[in-house]
Amino acid sequence: MNTNKSKEIFEEAKKSIPGGVNSPVRAFQSVKKDYPIFIESAKGSKLFDEDGNEYIDMIGSWGPMILGHNYPEVLEVVKSEMEKGTSFGLPTKKEVVLAELVKECFPAIEKIRLTTSGTEATMAAVRLSRAFTKKNKILKFEGCYHGHSDSLLVKAGSGLLTFEHQDSNGITEAVTRDTITAPFGDFEKIKKIIEDEKDIACVIVEPIPANMGVIETSKEFLEFLREITRKKNTVLIFDEVITGFRISLGGACEVFGIQPDLVTLGKIIGGGYPVGAFGGKKEIMDLISPVGNVYHAGTLSGNPVSVAAGIKTISILKENPEIYKTLEKRTKELVSKIENLIQKYEIPATVNYVNSLFTIFFAKDKIENLEDAIDTSDEMFAIYFDTMLENGIIVPPSKYEAHFISYVHSDEDYEKFYFALEKAFEKIKNSL
């Protein structure tokens, strides 16, 4: 496969953009590639690079593209919205429509605010929790990623994990001290922390972690978090930036039947356009300015184009419940085929999945937390990534990320995926 143009663009990019990319995982550095693929366009389940190569996309913009790229009905509303103007700095009726749509799907959300990214949503949710409880500290879980605001860049997943710096420079010691971390799923440690520490404003969790690879959460763990936070007057935040509208219309709240105090959303609710949101109990949300004195704002918050794309995407998902069923069925089939190939080639690998999210971990035993995920093989993952790419399949360029399936991935796409996977597993077997 000729990717010379990507190589040339990367050389140029590095002169003006740090690392040549605007988000670290995109650099393909962690899978030991000299340069990433530069994308020129996308359609349905496919990406096309600057050299004109076609790929089956298993990243889906890290989640938003549940209907594939440029789904015709979404594209149509976006075009017509753009003709009406693209940003006003004043409210629009559509923001109310999106708020109501989201509320219908998430009973935990009585009021909601839109942002421009998931990072802003989690940052605001943390600030709000502090104001509501009049406490200072937050508890997060090792390997969970909640965007790049200062308080949440402690033992974080995603790109931080990928580049082996789970914390970031440039954050004061005082901020870091206020963020307590615990291993995901460790009932005992978490109980002790919450009982000993009187100053915890909130517990923030990815109810199904997808930023250390996908972790299959137990309902008991989330129920335990719900109970213990309720008793301690601590706000429970479900960060559903990935899982919201992805694993079901009502996200993990619906799947597990648990109502957190606040929920953060992003990705799918903007149908592939920049967006984020946080919402929850009225009594907490009404602390936000101009009702209360917790400041949250944004020039592009509730941008009309993003909102229109979000309304359309959610409406399609809502009117076609078979989409989630189909996605679940196809992912189950896919995972079962991957597991058969793991056995056939005797590869030390295991798959975690939830609805249309999955991760292949190169280790024999079940992966349940960050420590397990770190212990998986970098070398085997690099062979897997390389071989898939050579065969026209783009999978996440990090062993700590999820693959995302869209509704428009076809039988032919899956067949190509298995074909490439057999080649990858053959190579891995020969490397053992």
**Residue 241 interacting with ligand PMP (CB under 6 A):** yes
Minimum CB distance to ligand PMP smaller for 81 or for 240? 240
Minimum CB distance to ligand PMP smaller for 62 or for 400? 62
CB of 339 to ligand PMP, least distance (A): 26
Q: Give the CA count within 13 Å in the CB-facing half-sphere of 204.
A: 36
User: One symbol per residue from 60 to 79: x for binding ligand PMP (CB under 6 A), - otherwise; what is it?
Assistant: --x-----------------
Binding residues for ligand PMP, rule CB under 6 A, total 16
Exposure b/e, 250-270, CB count within 10 A at least 16 = b: bbbbbbbebbbbbbbbbbbbb
Beta bridge partners of 48: 41, 54
139 Cβ neighbours under 8 A, 6+ residues apart: 179, 180, 181, 182, 190, 193, 194, 200, 202, 203, 204, 234
Two tokens at 65? 């593209």
Calpha distance 221→227 (Å, rounded): 10
Candidate ranges 104-112, 144-152, 216-224, 424-432; the one touching ligand PMP (CB under 6 A): 144-152
CB of 4 to ligand PMP, least distance (A): 30
Beta bridge partners of 234: none
Work out the number of other CB atoms within 10 angstroms of the CB of residue 73.
Answer: 13
282 Cβ neighbours under 8 A, 6+ residues apart: 110, 111
Minimum CB distance to ligand PMP smaller for 303 or for 387? 303
Could you say which of 211, 303, 313, 377 contacts ligand PMP (CB under 6 A)?
211
**Residue 206 interacting with ligand PMP (CB under 6 A):** yes
Catalytic residue among 140, 155, 267, 312: 267
User: One symbol per residue from 152 to 191: x for binding ligand PMP (CB under 6 A), - otherwise; what is it?
Assistant: ------x---------------------------------
Catalytic residue among 178, 239, 261, 372: 239
**Residue 359 interacting with ligand PMP (CB under 6 A):** no
CB of 24 to ligand PMP, least distance (A): 12
Two tokens at 387? 């071989």
Residue 57's φ and ψ, nearest 5 degrees, are: -95, 115
**Residue 129 interacting with ligand PMP (CB under 6 A):** no
Calpha distance 127→296 (Å, rounded): 9
Could you say which of 36, 64, 147, 251 contacts ligand PMP (CB under 6 A)?
147
Which residue, chain included where needed, has tokens 């763990």? 221
Give yes or no: 267 in active site: yes
Minimum CB distance to ligand PMP smaller for 49 or for 239? 239
Q: Give the CA distances from residue 227 to residues 138, 184, 191, 194, 298, in Å, rounded to whole numbers and listed in that order.
A: 17, 16, 11, 11, 34
User: One symbol per residue from 101 to 120: x for binding ligand PMP (CB under 6 A), - otherwise; what is it?
Assistant: ----------------xxx-
Could you say which of 244, 266, 310, 392 contacts ligand PMP (CB under 6 A)?
266
Look at residue 200 and give its three-state secondary structure: strand
**Residue 226 interacting with ligand PMP (CB under 6 A):** no
Binding residues for ligand PMP, per CB under 6 A? 62, 117-119, 122, 145-147, 158, 206, 211, 239, 241-242, 266, 276
Residues with a catalytic annotation lie at 145, 239, 267
